Amino acid sequence: MSAIRTARERARAEVMQEIKDEARRQLATVGAAGLSLRAVARELGMASSGLYRYFANRDALLTALIIDAYNEIGERVEVAERAVPAQDYRARWRAFCMTIREWAIAAPHQYALVYGSPVPGYQAPQDTVGPASRIPLTLIRNVHDAWTAGALQPPEPLPSLSAVLTEQAARVARETVPGVPEVVVTLTLIALTQLFGMLTFELFGHFVGSMDPAGPFFEFTVERMAGLIGLS
């Protein structure tokens, strides 16, 4: 009795995977809004009605793709960070950034699926929240480790936060890395949004005519942002 038991169950898992793979392939040419169950079925050589044995409807397929994308990049980042000495916090940050960039460049349509414009009429269900949070969690854990090791050198003098911002950052810290000061959490989120802003500019063509190719700018920026947070 293996993890996947009967022939039926094994076949089911395989077909499910094939459907998602084909859907991902089509994402590249038509985008999330244009994803068509009929086209996926056609390419797979099955009746379009057959897909309904696997996904309740088009949105359910989209949700599966979104969750897969978050998990894939989340997994990659976690693995990449582990390949770096745990006490080299700046190296962990570098690995974090580089891994996300490599994934985004290799799979721009999956990047757009999760970090691009929302799909009109599609409301992401709660199941996407966990996978989506793997990325911010990985980063903030790195900063937490640096902080508790006394290896973080935040800016002097420490900037002060407004009341609301303090409360928001405190909640993030409480839920993920208790003990880390609010200002550190906040600086970390600045770096995170900078990272995705930069990647979005690169992937969506806003660097054409300036920082194109974007590699050198990316590397420089990663170091500046490490400095902003105070990662040694």
Partner DNA sequence: TGTACATCAGTGAACGCGCGTTCACTGATGTAC
Interface with DNA (CB under 7 A): 6-9, 11-12, 15, 35-39, 42, 45-50, 52-54, 57-59
d(CA 103, CA 157): 37
- Considering only 43, 44, 181, 201, the residue that binds its own copies (CB under 8 A) is 201
CA 19 vs. chain centroid, Å, equals 22
26 near 43, Cβ under 8 Å?
yes
Binding site partner of 17, from DNA, its own copies, none, Cβ cut-off 5-8 A by kind: none
* DSSP 3-state of 180: coil
Measured from the CB of residue 94, what is the shortest distance to DNA in angstroms?
41
Residue closer to DNA by CB (options 1, 163) is 1
- Between 124 and 153, how does the x/- string for binding to its own copies read (CB under 8 A)? x----x--xx--x-----------------
Strand partners, 152: 231
- Any idea which residue has 């040419």 for tokens? 29
Which C-beta is closer to its own copies: that of 8 or that of 72? Answer: 72
Q: How far apart are CA 137 and CA 188, in angstroms?
A: 11
Residue 190 Cβ vs its own copies, minimum distance, rounded to whole Å: 5
> Among residues 198, 226, 230, 231, which is the contact residue for its own copies, using CB under 8 A?
198
Integer Rg of the chain from CA:
21
3-state SS, residue 152: strand
**Cβ-contact 81, 88 below 8 angstroms:** no
Asked whether 37 and 98 are in contact (CB, 8 A), the reply is: no
Report, in Å, the least distance between residue 153 CB and its own copies: 14
Interface with its own copies by CB under 8 A: which residues?
A: 29-34, 112, 115-121, 124, 129, 132-133, 136, 159, 161-162, 164-165, 168-169, 171-172, 186-187, 189-190, 193-198, 200-201, 204-206, 209-212, 215-217, 219-221, 223-225, 228
